[in-house]
Structure 1
Amino acid sequence: MFRRRAWAVGAAAIVGLCALTASSSASAQVTGRAEAPTVAAEAIAEAAGPDERAEMLVGRMTTAQQAASIVMGHIPTTDAAALSAYMAQGLGGFILMGANIPATDGELAALTASLTIDPELPPLIAIDQEGGIVSRLPADDYAASTTLKSLPVADTAAAFSARAALVAKSGITVDFGTVADVTADPSSFIYGRALGTDPKSSADRVAAATAAQEPVVASTLKHFPGHGAAPGDSHHAIPSTVETLDEWRAKDAVPFIAGIDAGASLLMFGHLAYTSVDPAPASLSARWHEIARDELGFDGVLVTDDLGMLQSSGLPEYADPVANAVTAVAVGNDLVLMIAGSTADTASEIVAGITAAVDSGALPAERLADAATRVVALRLQSSAASAEWSLCAECEPAG
């Protein structure tokens, strides 16, 4: 059903399922909903791989639990107790921003550990660790896009191998760190973060960065279908382009295809519109999700860019973060990310909104279950990563 990564998943990853069953029953009593169909924990433990186990596990969840499992939230604190309480909602992931990074490596490791409520099914812990311009970890002085775009491809592989080890050392399992956008325009806001100035050079470096990271952390390609063609900063607007689909295939698609072929675990959808393909932002476009799945063959986790950026555009149609999240899931996203403008209550509001959309029939239950299964499968794979890593003592700093 889903692409399998080269990570082994042991039967021990299912030990915590009894707690889930109890939680499901409690939720059913509170909401009045029928309890989700159950599958014996033994049967799940004996399942062949993470995909099948994830499907069985999601089948045991209530709608609300499935909804929570596809939300990646954020609160700006280094308070371990506050973080644990926040994640006790059952959220599928957490993204670390600058406000979450404490002073020492030991404190950071303790902080990331506090995000895990069930050690047998830990959340996806993510970070934007591109290096260079976008860097959350102070210790990352490895070469980044500003210099890598003009260096041999081998330098990109070495830098991202070292970067992945640094990320993993901190207890982080997902790096939103590979920029697959391509532009030769120095005035573009994405130019300094892009790994290449033409489709071929970008594709070669994106593939190298992906292959270097995947044995250690789940890597992410962003910002699909590509910021290079759409001028403007999606943190404050919805950049748009009239580039046609055929033009996109010949140019902006090339680095994404290379990253997909290299085994990227996640594909992040940008808040940018290719109006000749769909006037809606790609993050909310069923057509672009169809292209990613059916044309490019990506079968990993589709994740939105920060949904708070849609609100920051100032456009009234994107003022409601809950409505944005529901639409994002309906069009094909598996994981919804919310950072800008979020409070401690925003994630629970999104969970409630997705749950209500399923209950009303506005969001097909099968779509939510599919999204939850993909995310849970990646969580199982990430928690059982068997690759060995070490920091690169010989890698040159970014300078």
Structure 2
Amino acid sequence: MRARVMRGALTAALAACLLTACALSAPSSSPSATRQPTSSASSPTPTPPPDPAVDAVAAMSVTEQAASVVMGHIPGTDPATLRAYMQSAPQGAPLGGFILMGGNIGADAAQVRALSDALTLDPALPPLIAIDEEGGVVRRLPWDTLPGGQGLHAFDLTQTEQVFAQRAALIAETGANVNFGIVADVPADASSFIYSRALGADPDSASSRVTAAVDGEEGVVLSTLKHFPGHGAAPGDSHHSIPTTAMTLQQWQAGDARPFVAGIDAGAELLMFGHLAYTAVDAAPASLSARWHEIARDELGFDGVTITDDLGMLTASGVPEHQDPVSNAVAALRAGSDMVPMVAGSTAETAPQMVAGIVSAVDDGRLGADRLRDAAERVMRLRMQAAAGR
């Protein structure tokens, strides 16, 4: 369900509740009416509706919860190998996601669909199968010839929405259900590495096209906004370093925040946190920052799945404390991320090691059991949404 629909429903429900409460508590107009004492027993607290995701996660072991928040990757197009990989975590716990990269893409959509089917151990609860399909310079499907990024700057909003709808259909044909494809960064200038990929060169144009992109993907694939809180203000490429900026929170709110706000209001289901540091807000990269997760949740109202950019990028940053993907995964979850993908440098053993490391962190108290459970519930809701065909 889209965020704006949920907020509208909540507002309506609260309004109805308030009106009902007013009607029940209004004094009688009769002068002889006597005010009666209020009994707490006469106003029982409404029972919240059941949440299937909560029930499903409650039935899972800690190992299964840990596996469900890991999005793994290995190259190759052999369905049997990929299927075995999805249940390679300790105790055979199934991984919650997989990201398709160029090495997983066959000659056509049917071949990729066969691989996606192999990744899906239980059709009633599919994993989150993601793909970086921005169009333009970042695409995994060779047959996607639609424009993206800078190529959309001359398009109006209706055309932009149509492009994303068409691209979403191409992705859905492969069996993938998540697109890491909406670049909400506002590049500082044309020299930025993100410039050719950004949907707009300024906050206004970027915001409008981000909204159009989310609207275009709606009902076909799950939308992801990236790279929160934005690469534009931080010079450098996070594939090789941790870009840093001294921009203040107030400056960010007035500019670079706006495309993310637009995408959240449009109902994007995932928010990808970048490996970049706004030192005036937090010295840590946003992907490992509890403060930035708090801003996304409490100030921007995002209630979907928070996911880091590829944790392999952190290990390639050259920063000593970020060289262990297991430690990075635990730190990201502790900060508030719900899902941790690992691509660069990933082997068949990496995801199982991450799962084991997350379980160990819960056992020794470095990661709260409630934080893991919350992450698993958010991921579970999205998987159930994918299973329902949105």
Q: TM-score range by the shorter chain?
A: 0.7 to 0.9
Distance 2:259 2:224 in 1: 12
Query: Quick one: which of 174, 177, 194 aligns to 1:190?
Result: 194
Structure 1, residues 59-110: CA drift from partner, whole Å, max 9, x if none?
Answer: 0000000000000000011111100000124100000000000112221111
Structure 1, residues 350-386: CA drift from partner, whole Å, max 9, x if none?
Answer: 0000001101111110000000000011000011115
Structure 1, residues 14-57: CA drift from partner, whole Å, max 9, x if none?
Answer: xxxxxxxxxxxxxxxxxxxxxxxxxxxxxxxxxx9998101000
Q: 1:216 to 1:51 in 2, by over 3 A?
A: farther
Query: Quick one: which of 254, 258, 265 aligns to 1:261?
Result: 265
1:4 deviates by 6.8
Q: 1:142 to 1:3 in 2, by over 3 A?
A: closer
Structure 1, residues 216-248: CA drift from partner, whole Å, max 9, x if none?
Answer: 110100000000000000000000000000000
Distance 2:105 2:235 in 1: 31
Structure 1, residues 180-216: CA drift from partner, whole Å, max 9, x if none?
Answer: 0012511100000000011010000000001110211
Q: Do 1:178 and 1:221's aligned partners in 2 also have CA atoms closer than 8 Å?
A: yes
Counterpart of 1:341 in structure 2 is 345
Match of 2:51, SS state, is: helix
After TM superposition, the structure 1 = structure 2 runs for residues 145-164 of structure 1, keeping only pairs within 5 Å, are 145-164=149-168
After TM superposition, the structure 1 = structure 2 runs for residues 1-399 of structure 1, keeping only pairs within 5 Å, are 52-89=51-88, 90-385=94-389
1:151 deviates by 2.1
Q: Do 2:2 and 2:266's aligned partners in 1 also have CA atoms closer than 8 Å?
A: no
Distance 2:231 2:154 in 1: 20
1:305 deviates by 0.2
RMSD: 1.8
Distance 1:3 1:153 in 2: 20
Q: How many residues in Structure 1 have an aligned counterpart in Structure 2?
A: 345
TM-score (norm 1): 0.84
Distance 1:382 1:149 in 2: 31
The amino acid that maps onto 1:288 is W
The amino acid that maps onto 1:289 is H
1:144 deviates by 1.2
Distance 1:316 1:141 in 2: 40
The amino acid that maps onto 1:313 is S
Q: Do 1:51 and 1:377's aligned partners in 2 also have CA atoms closer than 8 Å?
A: no
Could you list the runs of 5+ residues in structure 2 that have no partner in the other structure?
7-46, 89-93
The amino acid that maps onto 2:148 is A
The amino acid that maps onto 1:247 is Q
The amino acid that maps onto 1:348 is P
**% identity of equivalent residues:** 62
Regions of 4+ moved over 6 Å: 2-7, 48-51
Distance 1:300 1:156 in 2: 24
1:150 deviates by 2.5
Distance 1:254 1:69 in 2: 31
Q: 1:208 to 1:49 in 2, by over 3 A?
A: farther
Q: 1:210 to 1:194 in 2, by over 3 A?
A: same
The amino acid that maps onto 1:129 is E
Structure 1, residues 269-321: CA drift from partner, whole Å, max 9, x if none?
Answer: 00000000001000000000000000000000000000000000011010111
Distance 2:50 2:85 in 1: 27
The amino acid that maps onto 1:190 is I
The amino acid that maps onto 2:60 is M
Q: 1:165 to 1:224 in 2, by over 3 A?
A: same
Q: Do 2:188 and 2:233's aligned partners in 1 also have CA atoms closer than 8 Å?
A: no
1:3 deviates by 6.6
Could you list the runs of 5+ residues in structure 1 that have no partner in the other structure?
8-47, 387-399
Q: 1:285 to 1:124 in 2, by over 3 A?
A: same
Distance 2:383 2:295 in 1: 25
Q: Do 1:128 and 1:135's aligned partners in 2 also have CA atoms closer than 8 Å?
A: yes
Q: Do 2:233 and 2:245's aligned partners in 1 also have CA atoms closer than 8 Å?
A: yes
TM-score (norm 2): 0.86
